[in-house]
Amino acid sequence: MTNSPQPLADVFGKAVGNLYRGGVTNVTWERALEGLSREQAAQKPEHLPHSVTEIVAHLQFWQAYLLRVIAGEDPPTPEHAAGGWPKEADWETLKAEFVRDSDRLRAHARDDAFVQTLDRKGRPYGVALTNFAGHSLYHLGQVVSVRQSLGLWPPPSGGDTW
């Protein structure tokens, strides 16, 4: 019995889609946010620019933006980078929206036909989904660093400390 190769789009979708959860070689988002109270998530370590709440709000801003584009909308792009960093967010609501929208983007990334569909700029949606997954992982590392700086790492269920 021989194994037939999977279609490239299927392999791509599973790989990129999994990045929205944190990935196999990274701590998961669920673990990175685990056990943080509203107060802890809002703490900003000395010498670091953002709190966990700010980082997650930034990611959620861009996840919601991409989902609006996918829905056929043409949302305005912030004029400056600061426009993608919301100032206020309720921690529990933010976490729920972030996880929900991460799951939605993951599902899109795992849809073979969708990743090959062209976006409003004529590029396959797989390009945007890959870029956003990388953006998410970049900030996942920041969340871990913020927690480490605040003495809030590892999370209650454990985590890599090396």
Q: What is the pLDDT of residues 99-152, one digit of tens each?
A: 999 999 999 999 988 999 999 889 999 999 999 999 999 999 999 999 999 999
Express each pLDDT in 20-61 by its tens digit.
888 677 888 999 999 999 999 999 999 999 999 999 999 999
Contact 57, 94 (CB under 8 A): yes
> Per-residue b/e over 95-133, b at no fewer than 16 CB within 10 Å?
bebbbebbebbbebbbbeebbeeeeeeeeebbebbbebb
Provide mean pLDDT across the span 59-65: 98
- Report, as an integer, the average pLDDT of 92-104: 97
CB burial readout 47-65, b (16+ within 10 A) else e: eeebbbbbbbbbbbebbeb
Task: Please tell me whether residue 29 adopts helix, strand or coil conformation.
Answer: helix
- Write down the pLDDT at residue 17: 82
> What predicted TM-score, i.e. pTM, was given to this entire model?
0.91
pLDDT tier, 18 (very low <50, low <70, confident <90, very high otherwise): confident
Whether residue 98 lies inside any domain: the answer is yes
Q: Does a structural domain hold residue 157?
A: no
pLDDT digits (tens, 9 = 90+) for 74-89: 999 999 999 999 988 9
CB 156 within 8 A of CB 35: yes
Residue 102 lies in a domain: yes
Total structural domains in the chain? 1
At 112 the pLDDT is 86
Identify the CATH number of the domain in which residue 41 sits: 1.20.120.450
- What pLDDT, on a 0 to 100 scale, did the predictor assign at position 9? 62
20 in Cβ contact with 136 (< 8 Å): yes
Report the pLDDT value the prediction gives residue 1, as an integer from 0 to 100. Answer: 54
Domain-embedded: residue 50: yes
62 belongs to a structural domain: yes
Which residues constitute the domain of residue 89? 8-149
Q: What is the pLDDT of residue 161?
A: 60
- 161 within some domain: no
**Max CA distance (Å), the chain:** 59
* Tokens matching residue 49: 């620019």
Residue 134 inside a domain? The answer is yes
Encode pLDDT of 3-17 as tens digits.
777 766 677 777 888
Distance from C-alpha of 105 to C-alpha of 59, rounded to nearest angstrom = 12
Evaluate if residue 66 carries a pLDDT over 60: yes
Place of tokens 């976490």: 95
Q: Angle at the Cα of 99 (from 84 to 135), degrees rounded to 5?
A: 45
> Would you state the pLDDT for residue 12?
73
Residue 112 domain-assigned? yes
Cα-Cα end-to-end distance for the chain: 42
> Residue 9 burial by CB count (10 A; 0-12/13-18/19+): exposed, middle or buried?
middle
